[in-house]
Structures are given as structure tokens and as C-alpha cells.
Structure 1
Amino acid sequence: KNLLDRSNFFCQTCILKVNLHCAACEKKVHKALKKVDGVHSIDLDGKHGRVTVSGNMDPCMLIMALAKAGKKAELLWQHTPEPPMNHHHQH
């Protein structure tokens, strides 16, 4: 049984700090993140050691996937859009 309820996650963007000192590291990181359920896009910035990931996923799963691949990652920034609010006016 899946322990994570996917309905709790909205399409979000996360920026991770990862040591990317060569093309092989970038390839390894990209491959590890692609395997995480819900990942839509991955943007690697080797110069600044940052990876931007967008999708419907849990940021902890990204960090765990990178740890399994032997890469230490740190969450720098996360943006989860607010769900649309229902505006009910009571009179």
C-alpha cells in the first residue's frame, strides 16, 4: 500500500543544492531524479551546483533518490502553489 497520498502534493518547484563537478555527475543526478514518481522537469545548473525540479512529488523523495545514487542534496527553495480558494459569501 502506498504510504503517501498523492492528493496532498500540487505541482511544485524545488531547487536543490547538489555537487555537480562534471558531466558524469550531472548525468547521474538527472537519471536518479527521473526515476522519482511525479517529476515533470529537471533543470541542471552545474556552474552553481543547483538542480531545479518541477512536478507533483515530495521533495524528501528527491533527496532520498539522490542519496541512493551517492549524491548529497539539500533543499534550498520550494514553491507549492496555493490550491484555488472557494469564495463563498455569506449574507
Structure 2
Amino acid sequence: MANMQIVPASKNVEAQYVEMKVPLYSYGCEKKVRKALLQLKGIYSVNVDFEQQKVTVWGICDRNDVLNAIKSKRRGARFWGSEEISEGPRPKPLSSSTRSWSWKAWKMAKILLI
């Protein structure tokens, strides 16, 4: 009985799969993600597919808590199959006439004019 976990009745107590798209750059990233997820309570298994950049978690968990745990390690993580949700309108890029030159560009222009 010491191994049993007490789950509040107000939460969803069914085991579920949570699939996420996570940018993985190396096998070290895969290890960090797996370690971060296995520290959560209620997670039974973590499957990381490096080729598809996909992480599948199975357990009694809240899917938003799982996503937040992965985002602490990989910021670009999102649910599998969900479209990128933008937070408000994106700013329009500046036209070429309103952009200012960088320091290197000014220096190169000065060299070319001399």
C-alpha cells in the first residue's frame, strides 16, 4: 500500500497518451527530456522517437503539466498535430527604406567610397 498514489476525485484519473512534437538536436537532448518527464508523478512510460522528433507519454497525468515539463528543457515543444498558435497579430517587417544599417554595413560603405 505504500506504493499507491492518491489521486483527487476532481481530476481525470484515466491513463492517457500525450503526444508532443519536441525539437531534439542530439541524443543528449533526448536523455534530458526523458529524465524530466520520468520525474513527474503518474508517468508510466516515455517513448522518444528521435527521427520524427516525437515524444509519447503514457500515464495518469495532466497534458498541460507534461507539456510545461518538456518546455522547461525544450522551448519549441508543442502538442503533436496542433497548429502553431500565435499570440496576437505578428508585426509587419520594416520596409527597406526604414531599416537602419548595421555598424558593419556603414563601415563597408565607407571603405567602398574611399
| TM-score relative to the length of structure 2 | 0.58
Q: Does 1:65 align with 2:73?
A: no
Aligned structure 1 segments of 4 or more residues deviating by more than 3 angstroms: 4-7
Percent identical pairs in the alignment equals 31
Q: Does 1:54 align with 2:51?
A: no
Distance 1:71 1:26 in 2: 14
Q: Which amino acid aligns with 2:15?
A: C
Q: Could you report, residue by residue, the CA deviation over 1:22-63 in whole angstroms, capped at 9, with x for unpaired residues?
A: 111000100111111111000000000000110000010111
Number of aligned residue pairs: give it.
74
* Other-structure match for 1:44: 48
Q: Does 1:28 align with 2:32?
A: yes
Distance 1:8 1:51 in 2: 21
The higher-RCO structure (CA 8 Å, 6+ apart) is 1
1:70 Cα deviation from its structure 2 partner? 4.0
| TM-score relative to the length of structure 1 | 0.71
Q: Which runs of 5+ in 2 are unaligned?
A: 1-6, 82-114
Q: Which deviates more, 32-41 or 62-71?
A: 62-71
Cα RMSD for the two superposed structures: 1.9
Q: Which amino acid aligns with 2:27?
A: A
Answer 1 or 2: which has greater strand percent. Answer: 1
CA contact (8 A) 1:26 1:46 kept: yes
Q: Which runs of 5+ in 1 are unaligned?
A: 78-91
Distance 1:71 1:27 in 2: 16
SS of the residue corresponding to residue 8 of structure 1 reads: coil
